[in-house]
């Protein structure tokens, strides 16, 4: 093991080495390490290149706020993730990690030329530079910028992992398992409340993991932590979930949690999902997210080896890793002094503590002297040196508010602390208001919108004692709010290291500030001078400054940069920080995989695929399927060697010559029942229903309030008070909702009820001249002769031994029947008719043939020939309007001036001049093909097929004043040339007298 690992120190398992690779080289860490801590233990600080300037970067934090140490991680094929935070990813045997944003190597990167050209890449660079010429944007600028931008590479293989999701309901959800969160969970858990305690780290404990010297209730911090976790684990009503990030806080205390399940395991159990999304509804939420340390803003504050002081403390105490032998500490807060003391205690030799403040607690300076650490107060830091690792720090005296003479101090790490920012991201998701605290120079939670408590450092409490007490109070209050008796436990804390500090803008320098690379946002490469430039160029609101500079717009959402950016902007504007404002945090709190959001919705369960009872037969008989809404429907049934055109032609001939069999089960069905059923039907549909006799059917047309066609279908009257309504396949749910809406809001007085029966019935359609001959022997209790059971009749009877509703209807223009039987019998009925139909060369057909057959008759398909802007008049369906009816949905709209004006598009037939040419559906139609472009388009083709029965192509189209154009020649310009076609005002191409269907 290297000299950076301290034997016996930290919470890592010194007896369990773990091998992993970084940029192809094998390293050894210990069980319990993160990628970052393991690399630091090996003396590796250089972990990435920055986004814009390609500057060499080292790890800067030890948590989820890490902006620099973002890596690609891999576990075999299909298991690659870009931008994994090395500070969060635990090492496992065989983990492959690789640095990003560098070429050809991390140590030597060509893109770093951007760094020298930094003065070109100022804030707003893209907006200013790529304005002109406009035509260059699409072809040159955008592709080049896109190629250069972005961090990491997207995975190229399908994700081989699976993901899970889970709902949960708890009394109290505690977010953050540091001192405040643990105390809250204890208080609430002991009261009997159901508690979920979540923490994004691999281990609960928060600050306590980095502060082992604190004594709680007489126990060393880690002993107290172990006892507390044991107590919580022992409570059946408490669930403790590490590796679980609360990513979003939504209305009514719904919190989204992303739980990492297998990324830390060398060999995940079979069937285990990689991550799980929890959707937790909590009666009370306790936010104990703690505080985030801010960097100090000075030239060269991003050099590898420069990191947050608290991070160094965490690497030391939690992971047993020294981040350097000779660290220099630069700070504006007491907390970094303790980091220096801890490092000194572990054998490092801190070379200097530089505090920006002119005076600090003498106890700190005394301790520094005792440990032999030079302490410099009232100084500024103006630079660092070192190529791929910091080698020295440039420190200046402050003289009359200005930086004086510099002094270079050699070091191998710089630990900085610019104070602490309460982490209020989740609180911000709830639209809770933040209030600026002048004394602490931080934003604290203000007005709340949810049943939430904020505890600990999240509301500006800077000690473990205060956080424990505050958490205990919050947990007890939450438990009481859900109606339980609860007491806040009291903790005795010794050796607590409280502290205070100041909040600064960028540090003063004796050099040209315009040349300083003093970073605020490390992930987006935003410097202090970028913020000042934005203000000079007129940005006044922090929202504008943010977008102009991209400060805080990286995936870390400004966890480190927000307040530093605000302090500099407010200084430049000469306004107090609260007057400049704060940007809004949005979910997710930290980057979350798409897989976690998708959950189970991948592969076969990506979306529901609805299948009919007859679907298995279609599959067994070689059907090709097409999706129709959520259904999959048999599209056509090709025989060996047949293409779609040949199969559809044969199916059409089969149905017209003898008999075809079709699965119509997906049609929407609604049972309308009650004494007011006929009144309801009169009001909903355009057609008259009062005189429709029991046992008869009618084509029904449904409009919206706007008078446009919404749906259609054949409707049968089963009894005086009972209608069997059919809808389009895709419209079933929509029509039922629309009907319910009218019933509940407009006509609650009507005694009528709606029940969806779509799936109660399987529907087998027999269409063709031999349909009756085939069906008749199977029908019991009904005479289906042409006289007794004419077109548009319906009756209940028995078919092939199954109870049935038999409709004599036709969507093909042929003699046709639709047999409805309870769904469980659908396949048996189909197979019975199929067997018996062999004597008639029965032909199964799919939706494509159904479309052709109906188009030959000019029957419309709502949603294909209509698009939500066609009235019954436009579609040539005024015959379906009950003109004597006092009202129906959409009636009033039909008389509005625009709806009866000339110039509306009307549905007509189109016959191409060349009968062999089949028009393309959606093709645009013009009157004069010689006119200059852009041409005036007067309509488009809605349906177009080859008609085997007619021996030519047929089409339907909507055309301006189409019916007046009967006989006119129109033009359809296509890439290969213009096609001419003649308008026919009737779309009934075949058997317009309806002789066949009346047979």
Partner 1 sequence: MTATTDPGVTVTELPPPTRITLRVADPTGQPLPTRIGAIEGCALCLGPDEWLLEGDAAADLVAGLPGPYSAVEVSDREITYLLEGPAVLDLLATGCPRDLASMPVGAGARTVYDTAQVVLVREANDRFRLTVWRSFAPHVRALFDIAMREIAAGL
What is the bridge-based pairing of β-strands 761-767 and 660-663?
antiparallel
Q: Smallest Cα–Cα separation from 689: which of 882, 886, 878, 890?
A: 882
SS3 927: coil
Residue among 268 and 513 whose Cβ is closer to partner 1:
268
Q: Cβ 102 to partner 1, closest distance in Å?
A: 35
Which position among 1, 112, 164, 598 is part of the footprint of partner 1 (CB under 8 A)?
164
Nearer to partner 1, 133 or 271 (CB): 271
Q: Among the candidate windows 362-370, 419-427, 444-452, 605-613, which touches partner 1 by CB under 8 A?
A: 605-613
Q: How distant, in Å, are the alpha carbons of 293, 335, 444, 460, 461 from that of 440? A: 14, 15, 9, 8, 10
**Nearer Cβ to partner 1 (168/346):** 168
Q: Which residue, 677 or 959, has its beta carbon nearer to partner 1?
A: 677
- Out of 753, 867, 921, 963, point to the residue binding partner 1 (CB under 8 A): 753
Using rule CB under 8 A, residue 357 touches partner 1:
no
CB of 128 to partner 1, least distance (A): 47
Exposed, middle or buried, 256 (CB in 10 Å: 0-12/13-18/19+)? buried
d(CA 758, CA 728): 11
The residue within the footprint of partner 1, chosen from 219, 365, 391, 756 (CB under 8 A), is 756
Give min distance, CB of 183 to partner 1, in A.
Answer: 26
CB under 8 A: which stretch of 24-32, 214-222, 353-361, 611-619 binds partner 1? 611-619
Considering only 117, 604, 620, 930, the residue that binds partner 1 (CB under 8 A) is 604
Q: For partner 1, which is the closer residue by CB, 579 or 760?
A: 760
Taking the alpha carbons of 225, 228, 233, 239 in that order, is the dihedral positive or negative? negative
Please identify which residue in 197, 328, 709, 823 interacts with partner 1, judged by CB under 8 A: 823
- Please say which residue, 675 or 868, places its beta carbon nearer to partner 1: 675
Does position 605 interact with partner 1 (CB under 8 A)? The reply is yes
How far, in Å, are 302, 529, 901 from residue 121 at the CA level? Answer: 18, 12, 59
Distance CA 70, CA 49 (A): 9
Q: Is 727 in the site for partner 1 (CB under 8 A)?
A: no
Applying CB under 8 A, the span of 327-335, 602-610, 779-787, 947-955 interacting with partner 1 comes to 602-610
How many angstroms separate the CA atoms of 95 and 33, rounded? 12
The answer to the question of residue 270 lying near partner 1 (CB under 8 A) is yes
Q: How far apart are the first and last CA of the chain?
A: 94
Check residue 611 for interaction with partner 1 (CB under 8 A): yes
Of 861, 810, 823, nearest to 660 (Cα)? 810
By C-beta, is 237 or 391 nearer to partner 1?
Answer: 237
C-beta of 684 vs 925, nearer to partner 1? 684
Per CB under 8 A, which region of 10-18, 167-175, 321-329, 679-687 contacts partner 1?
167-175
CB count, 10 Å around CB of 177?
31
Query: Would you tell me the crossing angle of helices 179-190 and 464-481 to the nearest 10 degrees?
Result: 30
The rounded distance, in Å, linking the Cα atoms of 42 and 23 is 14
159 vs 759 by CB, closer to partner 1:
759
Task: Tell whether residue 737 is a contact of partner 1 (CB under 8 A).
Answer: no
Q: Does residue 892 belong to the site contacting partner 1 (CB under 8 A)?
A: no
CB of 579 or CB of 605, closer to partner 1? 605
Contact between 734 and partner 1 by CB under 8 A: the answer reads: no
> How many angstroms from the chain centroid is the CA of residue 324?
42
Measure the CA–CA gap between 47 and 32, rounded to whole angstroms: 19
Query: Considering only CA atoms, which of 940, 239, 245 is closest in space to residue 587?
Result: 245
Q: How far is the CB of 274 from partner 1 (least distance, A)?
A: 10
Note whether 752 binds partner 1 by CB under 8 A: yes
Site for partner 1 in 626-685 (CB under 8 A): 630-631, 671, 673-675
Task: Tell me which H or E stretch contains 41.
Answer: helix 35-41
Among 210, 382, 557, 758, binds partner 1 (CB under 8 A): 758
Half-sphere exposure of 694 (CA within 13 A, CB side): 7
Site for partner 1 in 243-262 (CB under 8 A): 261-262
Pick the binder of partner 1 from 8, 76, 218, 269 (CB under 8 A): 269
Q: Of the candidates 242, 268, 622, 769, which one interacts with partner 1 according to CB under 8 A? A: 268
**Shortest distance (Å) from residue 606 CB to partner 1:** 10
DSSP 8-state secondary structure symbol assigned to residue 733 = H
Question: Site for partner 1 (CB under 8 A): which residue of 14, 79, 281, 349?
Answer: 281
Per CB under 8 A, does 822 bind partner 1?
yes
Longest dimension (CA), the chain: 114
Stretch that binds partner 1, among 354-362, 487-495, 754-762, 773-781 (CB under 8 A): 754-762
> What is the closest distance, in whole angstroms, from the C-beta atom of residue 837 to partner 1 in the complex?
24
Residue 924 contacts residue 973 (beta carbons within 8 Å)? yes
The residue among 258 and 941 lying less far from partner 1, judged by its C-beta, is 258
The reply on whether position 614 binds partner 1 by CB under 8 A is no
Say whether residue 806 binds partner 1 (CB under 8 A).
no
- For 639-669, give the secondary structure using H, E and C: CCCCCHHHHHHHHHHHHHHCCEEEECCCCEE
| Shortest distance in whole angstroms from residue 677 CB to partner 1 | 9
Write out the binding residues for partner 1, residues 123-162 only, by CB under 8 A: 162
CB of 303 closer than 8 Å to CB of 295: no
Among the listed residues 16, 128, 166, 369, the single contact to partner 1 using CB under 8 A: 166
User: Which burial class, exposed, middle or buried, applies to 213 when counting CB atoms under 10 A from its CB (0-12, 13-18, 19+)?
Assistant: middle
864 within 8 A of 944, measured Cβ to Cβ:
no
Under the criterion CB under 8 A, does residue 543 sit at the interface with partner 1?
Answer: no
CA gap 847, 952 in Å, rounded: 20
How many whole angstroms separate alpha carbon 694 and alpha carbon 433? Answer: 65
Residue from 139, 152, 172, 143 nearest 102 by CA = 152
Segment near partner 1 (CB under 8 A); pick from 329-337, 598-606, 637-645, 902-910: 598-606
Q: Are 925 and 938 in contact (CB under 8 A)?
A: yes
Q: How far is the CB of 281 from partner 1 (least distance, A)?
A: 7
540 counts as binding partner 1 under rule CB under 8 A: no
Residue recorded with tokens 């209030």 = 435
Q: Which is nearer to partner 1, 192 or 873 (CB)?
A: 192
Least distance between partner 1 and beta carbon 624 (Å): 20
Query: Which of these ranges, 140-148, 704-712, 821-829, 867-875, lies near partner 1 under the rule CB under 8 A?
Result: 821-829
747 binds partner 1 (CB under 8 A): no
| Dihedral angle sign, alpha carbons of residues 673, 676, 677, 681 | negative
Contact between 620 and partner 1 per CB under 8 A: no
Range in contact with partner 1 (rule: CB under 8 A) among 172-180, 539-547, 650-658, 817-825? 817-825
| Count of residues interacting with partner 1 (CB under 8 A) | 46
3-state DSSP of 229-280: HHHHHHCCCEEEECCEEEEEEEHHHEEEEEEECCCCCCCCCCCCCCEEEEEE
Regarding 751 and contact with partner 1 (CB under 8 A), the answer is yes
**Cα–Cα distance for residue pair 563/577, rounded to 1 Å:** 9
**Contact between 736 and partner 1 per CB under 8 A:** no
Using CB under 8 A, list all residues that contact partner 1: 162, 164-169, 261-262, 267-273, 279, 281, 600, 604-605, 608-613, 630-631, 671, 673-675, 751-753, 755-761, 822-824
């Amino acid at each position: 093991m290297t000299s950076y690992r301290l034997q016996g120190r930290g919470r890592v398992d010194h007896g369990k080495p773990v091998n992993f690779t970084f940029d192809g080289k094998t390293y050894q860490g210990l069980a319990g390490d993160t990628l970052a801590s393991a690399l630091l233990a090996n003396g590796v600080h250089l972990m990435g290149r920055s986004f814009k300037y390609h500057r060499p970067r080292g790890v800067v934090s030890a948590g989820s706020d890490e902006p620099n140490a973002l890596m690609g991680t891999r576990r075999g094929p299909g298991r690659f993730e870009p931008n994994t935070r090395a500070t969060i990813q635990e090492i496992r045997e065989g983990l492959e990690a690789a640095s990003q944003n560098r070429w050809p190597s991390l140590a030597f990167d060509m893109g770093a030329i951007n760094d020298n050209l930094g003065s070109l890449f100022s804030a707003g660079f893209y907006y200013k530079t790529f304005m002109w010429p406009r035509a260059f944007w699409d072809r040159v600028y955008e592709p080049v910028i896109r190629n250069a931008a972005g961090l990491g590479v997207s995975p190229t293989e399908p994700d081989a992992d699976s993901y899970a999701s889970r709902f949960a309901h708890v009394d109290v959800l505690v977010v953050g398992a540091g001192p405040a969160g643990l105390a809250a969970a204890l208080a609430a858990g002991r009261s009997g409340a159901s508690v979920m305690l979540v923490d994004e780290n691999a281990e609960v404990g928060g600050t306590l993991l980095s502060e082992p010297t604190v004594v709680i209730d007489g126990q060393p911090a880690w002993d107290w932590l172990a006892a507390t976790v044991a107590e919580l684990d022992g409570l059946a009503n408490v669930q403790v979930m590490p590796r679980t990030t609360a990513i979003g806080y939504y209305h009514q205390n719904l919190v989204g949690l992303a739980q990492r399940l297998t990324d830390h395991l060398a060999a995940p159990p079979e069937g285990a999902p990689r991550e799980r999304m929890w959707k937790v509804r909590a009666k009370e939420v306790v936010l104990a997210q703690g505080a985030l340390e801010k960097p100090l803003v000075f030239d060269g504050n991003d050099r590898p080896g420069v990191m947050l002081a608290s991070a160094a403390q965490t690497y030391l105490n939690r992971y047993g890793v020294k981040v350097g032998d000779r660290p220099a500490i630069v700070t504006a807060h007491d907390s970094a002094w303790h980091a220096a003391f801890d490092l000194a205690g572990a054998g490092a030799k801190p070379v200097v503590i530089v505090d920006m403040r002119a005076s600090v607690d003498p106890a700190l300076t005394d301790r520094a002297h005792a440990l032999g650490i030079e302490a410099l107060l009232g100084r500024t830091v103006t630079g660092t040196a070192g190529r791929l690792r910091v080698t020295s720090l440039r420190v200046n005296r402050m003289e009359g508010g200005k930086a004086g003479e510099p002094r270079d101090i050699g070091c191998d790490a710089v630990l900085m602390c610019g104070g602490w920012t309460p982490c209020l991201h989740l609180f911000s998701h709830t639209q809770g208001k933040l209030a600026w605290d002048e004394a602490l120079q931080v934003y604290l939670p203000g007005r709340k919108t949810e049943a939430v408590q904020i505890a600990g450092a999240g509301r500006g409490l800077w000690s473990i004692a205060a956080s424990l007490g505050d958490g205990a109070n919050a947990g007890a209050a939450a438990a009481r709010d859900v109606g339980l008796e609860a007491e806040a436990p009291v903790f005795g804390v010794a050796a607590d290291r409280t502290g205070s500090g100041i909040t600064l803008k960028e540090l003063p320098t004796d050099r040209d500030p315009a040349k300083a690379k003093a970073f605020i946002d490390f992930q987006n490469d935003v410097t202090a001078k970028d913020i000042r430039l934005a203000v000079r160029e007129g940005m006044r609101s922090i929202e504008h400054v943010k977008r102009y500079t991209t400060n805080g717009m990286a995936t870390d959402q400004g966890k480190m940069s927000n307040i530093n950016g605000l302090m500099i902007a407010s200084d430049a504007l000469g306004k107090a920080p609260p007057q400049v404002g704060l940007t809004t945090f949005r979910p997710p709190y930290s980057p979350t995989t798409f897989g976690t959001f998708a959950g189970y919705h991948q592969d076969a369960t990506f979306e529901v695929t609805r299948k009919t009872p007859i679907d298995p037969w279609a599959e067994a008989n070689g059907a090709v399927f097409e999706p129709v809404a959520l259904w999959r429907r048999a599209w056509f049934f090709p025989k060996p060697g047949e293409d779609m055109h040949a199969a559809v032609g044969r199916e059409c001939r089969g149905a017209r010559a003898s008999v075809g069999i079709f699965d119509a089960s997906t049609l929407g069905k609604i049972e309308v029942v009650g004494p007011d059923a006929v009144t309801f039907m009169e009001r909903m549909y355009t057609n008259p229903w009062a005189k429709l006799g029991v046992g008869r059917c009618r084509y029904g047309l449904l409009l919206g309030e706007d008078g446009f066609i919404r749906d259609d279908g054949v409707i049968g009257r089963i009894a005086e008070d009972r209608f069997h309504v059919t809808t389009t396949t895709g419209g079933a749910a929509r029509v039922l909702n629309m009907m319910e809406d009218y019933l509940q809001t407009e006509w609650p007085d009507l005694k009528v009820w709606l029940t969806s029966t779509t799936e109660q019935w399987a529907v087998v359609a027999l269409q063709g001249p031999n349909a009756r001959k085939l069906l008749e022997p199977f029908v019991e209790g009904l005479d289906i002769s042409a006289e007794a059971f004419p077109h548009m009749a319906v009756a209940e009877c028995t078919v092939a031994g199954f109870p049935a509703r038999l409709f004599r209807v036709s969507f093909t223009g042929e003699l046709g029947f639709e047999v409805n039987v309870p769904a469980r019998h659908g396949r048996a009925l189909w197979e019975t008719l199929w067997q018996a139909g062999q004597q008639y060369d029965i032909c199964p057909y799919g939706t494509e043939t159904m479309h052709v057959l109906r188009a030959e008759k000019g029957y419309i398909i709502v949603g294909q020939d209509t698009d939500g802007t066609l009235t019954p008049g436009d579609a040539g369906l005024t015959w379906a309007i009950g003109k004597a009816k006092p009202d129906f949905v959409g009636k009033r709209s039909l008389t509005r001036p625009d709806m009866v004006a000339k110039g509306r598009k009307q549905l007509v037939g189109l016959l191409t001049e060349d009968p062999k040419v089949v028009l393309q559906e959606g093709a645009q139609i013009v009157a004069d093909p010689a006119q200059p472009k852009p041409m005036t388009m007067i309509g488009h083709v809605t349906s177009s097929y080859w008609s085997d029965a007619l021996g030519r192509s047929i089409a339907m189209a909507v055309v301006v004043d189409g019916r007046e154009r009967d006989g006119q020649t129109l033009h359809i310009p296509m890439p290969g040339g213009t096609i001419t076609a003649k308008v026919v005002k009737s779309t009934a191409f075949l058997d317009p007298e309806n002789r066949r269907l009346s047979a």
